[in-house]
Amino acid sequence: MTPSDASGRVALVTGANRGIGRAIATGLAERGLTVLLTARDPRQAEAAADSLRQAGRAVASYPLDVTDQAAVDRLAAWVAATYGRLDVLVNNAGAYYDTDQAAATVDLAIVRAAFEVNTLGPWRLCEAAIPLMRRHRYGRIVNVSSGSGAFAEAGAGTPAYSVSKAALNMLTVKLAAELRGSGILVNAACPGWVRTAMGGPGAPRSPEEGADTPIWLATLPDDGPSGGFFRDRRRIPW
């Protein structure tokens, strides 16, 4: 398999102002895609975009809270009006790594908040993106998940985060099955333990290393996999 042609492709990356999201946006822009960087804080989104513009990349920024349906709808309308297409969606925005919680006593308000960001946020973006992808019978959806959401790796701890990521994995499988034959490939990626605000300074991987598999999935050729869960470009168990 060889990567798909990036010519004229438009990609949207959520949570792209820092960490893994920024590294994904940078990698896609370096491969010739026009990249739309989103973040809750419009100043942070624009600062990230501006740094890439200065390097000669085709990028734009847009403020987005993935928990706000109206904001997602406005973004989709803007993308349609401005570009007329959306080819790649990377659902990177994530939150609520609740190391201080236990499943037997968890604050369910934290669980609800985690689902809004980690599961329903990507779901909203997928519903907004898929009609634009269908226009050209081409799409790559990458859900940035975590080994914390894999049943094969599950243990105690981080209940809200883990269950919300497990639900994101199931969404990946469902969408891939529904979209089979449409030209739209849907996969989940575990970036590993990365030095980010969430991962902490002691993590062994850089943001660029964590971004490698999502970038690979975002640029798969037409005969690439769909409905899989990947780490280091290798399929891992759900």
Single out the catalytic residue among 96, 97, 138, 161: 161
Question: Tokens at residue 33, please?
Answer: 């895609």
Distance CA 161, CA 145 (A): 10
Show the 3-state SS of 130-166: HHHHHCCCCEEEEEECCHHHCHHHCCCCCHHHHHHHH
Cα-Cα-Cα-Cα dihedral sign, residues 31, 29, 214, 83: negative
8 Å CB contact between 222 and 4? yes
Residue 161 annotated in active site: yes
Helix 159-178, helix 121-134: angle, nearest 10:
20
Apex 46 CA angle, 208 and 212, nearest 5: 15
8 Å CB contact between 82 and 61? no
Q: Active-site positions?
A: 161
